[in-house]
A = this chain, B = another copy of it.
């Protein structure tokens, strides 16, 4: 028996000898599959008997876009391609030049993602129009429902696996001629496959329609900020369905060169997204800036939504300036919802920062009661925003499935990729801090102790007070279908000091979270207490700080009090001390005394920083027994809000007018005032600039928008100037069809 000798030596360097082929890392790159692919080593057994075998041609393709997207809840996307969710069937209709004969014809649809698609199992998917001859091997294929043949037209239901790669697939119709080769027709259409919270087999399945509507489909939200006793909020336009946002989200994953095979796994996608939303290391989306100097970009407080940021990033393939935590959280939320992962923005009040899993924040206090800046390097953020994504963590025990923390704000200063999470919220609650990813870091953010250390005459530091409940005092997120704050602290922590809480702390400590447990047991109880109190304060107001000193003993007590007043960033970092006061207080047995310190606007206004607040540290020394007392308090300065007013009724494709009003209630001139309004429609973002606004002056600014979708919507406004920021307003409307 003789065969044609087909020696095809391939003596080249195949990827430098280390691998056969690189893996695809972008769904924007396309595999140039050949129009004709001969079967290698196929032995022709005579001439081809009939033209029909390869004369089959597609004349029309119908993707039933409006029906499919409605069923897949992707109809809000403004996109020319078909967008579907995995694990759910969609319908295609193919019209051929002649009837399809299953006994002689052999055609298949190929759904292909990225380069070198044939190497990976999930990057290359076949749907056979004929019956699959190898049921075992066909288990890996996308599922095909019954064929519906009508003369030369075939309707076919296709269900992409619930474990499909998310991204943009290119589609081919391929006709196989036995022992000869494959004839391929590029259908010149892309199909986007997203995560599916409605599909039980998908790892993002969320079994609650109201929650799915909020956490996947709601395009607008509320981000909470402020101070634990004084929660404020700002509106945010996530805009995940806006024109171009979907492609911008996949662009992020492509820029990070995330291997396509990994994009099947929701935990890995969420982790990569957290990495790509910050610019560090990898030219991700947003540059962080906490300095107050935003001249080279947009001040973090000016943004009103994510779409503008993501679109600018896609356009320039370069990071966008600037962000602080709520901007990172807003944009990451958009990316997650856009890809189909249920997600929400969470705000943690008194968030411990950058402690390398060490559970104690040390505040070093000099003998005179002022904080020692050279030694004190830990800080507590007034608030910090991160995200939660809902998913099955198939890499962890099922008790850790559910909400997972992901955080795009670059907090760690160590080298390595700036990414955080997903971390199971349930694992945090149980002290299981070593489960991947970044459990220790998140655990410390909500659980650290604050220790006051005071210097002695030899320069040694002595721990004088430990506060175990100062950190993670409140953890909130926007409620489902309401703008209220839902306190979800219980999902992160057991009640302070409860038996379960102690078990959690023991668990975390056993995994190497370093805490100094002796503090609680050996610290001396003091018989005098101090508490700091202040009213709600408007920026620019004078007010009184009250020091309440309580003598719990049955003897006379004389206390030397020393109060330091600083301006701090919302990150807890001090900007500067503007006032120091000393008071001597004498207290009879069981007496309580109040000392008022007047804080004048003139004292702090000159040193105000972006989103600054006031921090008061008070240290006391009891002369009778040398006991040392400590207390601190952060006072938030409230800013005015913008008023937004709607004129007339709101209808789809009709102009609507919105008027923004603002009055300068301060006795200083506001200079370089930037205003923004973000509303519905294709040209939804408007900006306006005022050189200055005099004290007492009011401004009004009217803009028009054209809603392009019926239903509820909103307009968000912001005002930013060097002396004043975080001024917002919003209004809701219901657009009639």
Q: Give complex CA distance A137, B522 in Å.
A: 11
Interface residues of A in 555-606 (CB under 8 A from B): 569, 571, 573-580, 582, 584
Of all chain B residues, the one with the shortest Cβ separation from A176 is: B458
Given contacts A176-B459, A366-B40, A415-B25, contact A118 B573 (CB under 8 A): no
Q: Give complex CA distance A11, B574 in Å.
A: 9
**Which residues of B are found within 8 Å of A257, using beta-carbon distances?**
414-415
B459 engages A182 (CB within 8 Å): yes
Given contacts A136-B518, A358-B121, contact A290 B571 (CB under 8 A): no
Is A15 an interface residue, CB under 8 A from the partner?
Answer: yes
How far apart are A319's CB and chain B's nearest CB, in angstroms? 16
Q: Give complex CA distance A5, B562 in Å.
A: 12
A512 engages B377 (CB within 8 Å): no
B463 engages A14 (CB within 8 Å): no
**Which residues of B are found within 8 Å of A518, using beta-carbon distances?**
136, 139
**Which residues of B are found within 8 Å of A571, using beta-carbon distances?**
17-19
B414 engages A23 (CB within 8 Å): yes
**Which residues of B are found within 8 Å of A356, using beta-carbon distances?**
23, 259, 261-262
Is A9 an interface residue, CB under 8 A from the partner?
Answer: yes
Q: Given B133, B259, B358, B578, which contacts A413 in the complex, CB threshold below 8 Å?
A: B259
Is A700 an interface residue, CB under 8 A from the partner?
Answer: no
Interface mask (A47-72 → B, CB under 8 Å = 1, otherwise 0): 00000000000000000000000000
Is A86 an interface residue, CB under 8 A from the partner?
Answer: no
**Which residues of B are found within 8 Å of A262, using beta-carbon distances?**
356, 414
Is A423 an interface residue, CB under 8 A from the partner?
Answer: no
Interface residues of A in 1-55 (CB under 8 A from B): 1, 3, 5-11, 13-23, 25, 37, 39-43
B22 engages A265 (CB within 8 Å): no
Q: Given B3, B413, B575, which contacts A11 in the complex, CB threshold below 8 Å?
A: B575
Q: Give complex CA distance A417, B292 in Å.
A: 33
A292 engages B10 (CB within 8 Å): no
**Which residues of B are found within 8 Å of A6, using beta-carbon distances?**
368, 580
B23 engages A374 (CB within 8 Å): no
How far apart are A367's CB and chain B's nearest CB, in angstroms? 5
Interface residues of A in 289-305 (CB under 8 A from B): 289-293
Is A632 an interface residue, CB under 8 A from the partner?
Answer: no
B291 engages A576 (CB within 8 Å): no
Is A609 an interface residue, CB under 8 A from the partner?
Answer: yes
**Which residues of B are found within 8 Å of A443, using beta-carbon distances?**
none
Q: Give complex CA distance A563, B256 in Å.
A: 42
**Which residues of B are found within 8 Å of A288, using beta-carbon distances?**
18
**Which residues of B are found within 8 Å of A582, using beta-carbon distances?**
1, 3
**Which residues of B are found within 8 Å of A10, using beta-carbon distances?**
373, 574, 576-577
A368 engages B9 (CB within 8 Å): no
Interface mask (A221-247 → B, CB under 8 Å = 1, otherwise 0): 000000000000000000000000000
Is A282 an interface residue, CB under 8 A from the partner?
Answer: yes
**Which residues of B are found within 8 Å of A378, using beta-carbon distances?**
20, 119
How far apart are A408's CB and chain B's nearest CB, in angstroms? 15
A573 engages B9 (CB within 8 Å): no
Interface size on A, residues (CB 8 A): 118
Is A375 an interface residue, CB under 8 A from the partner?
Answer: yes
How far apart are A607's CB and chain B's nearest CB, in angstroms? 6
Interface mask (A356-395 → B, CB under 8 Å = 1, otherwise 0): 1010000000111110111111110000000000000011
**Which residues of B are found within 8 Å of A368, using beta-carbon distances?**
3, 6, 40-41, 43
Q: Given B19, B128, B607, which contacts A573 in the complex, CB threshold below 8 Å?
A: B19
Given contacts A11-B607, A373-B10, contact A461 B1 (CB under 8 A): no
Given contacts A23-B413, A518-B136, contact A11 B576 (CB under 8 A): yes
B19 engages A379 (CB within 8 Å): yes
Interface mask (A111-132 → B, CB under 8 Å = 1, otherwise 0): 0000010111100001010000
Is A686 an interface residue, CB under 8 A from the partner?
Answer: no
Given contacts A16-B289, A17-B575, A136-B522, contact A366 B39 (CB under 8 A): yes
Q: Give complex CA distance A30, B617 in Å.
A: 32
Of all chain B residues, the one with the shortest Cβ separation from A290 is: B17
How far apart are A577's CB and chain B's nearest CB, in angstroms? 6
**Which residues of B are found within 8 Å of A372, using beta-carbon distances?**
40
Q: Given B11, B353, B414, B519, which contacts A25 in the complex, CB threshold below 8 Å?
A: B414
- Other A-B contacts than A19-B354, A134-B463, A139-B516, 14 sampled, CB-CB below 8 A, are A1-B584, A14-B573, A16-B290, A18-B569, A19-B353, A20-B379, A23-B414, A116-B377, A136-B519, A137-B460, A139-B518, A176-B458, A258-B415, A265-B512
Q: What are 26 of the A-B contact pairs (CB < 8 Å)?
A: A1-B582, A7-B580, A8-B577, A9-B578, A14-B575, A16-B289, A17-B291, A18-B569, A18-B571, A19-B413, A19-B573, A20-B376, A20-B378, A40-B372, A41-B368, A42-B457, A43-B368, A118-B374, A128-B460, A133-B462, A137-B463, A176-B459, A176-B460, A181-B459, A261-B356, A417-B417
A: residues with CB less than 8 A from B are 1, 3, 5-11, 13-23, 25, 37, 39-43, 106, 116, 118-121, 126, 128, 133-134, 136-137, 139-140, 176, 178-179, 181-182, 256-259, 261-262, 265, 282, 288-293, 353-354, 356, 358, 366-370, 372-379, 394-396, 413-417, 434, 436, 453, 455-463, 511-512, 516, 518-519, 522, 569, 571, 573-580, 582, 584, 607, 609-610
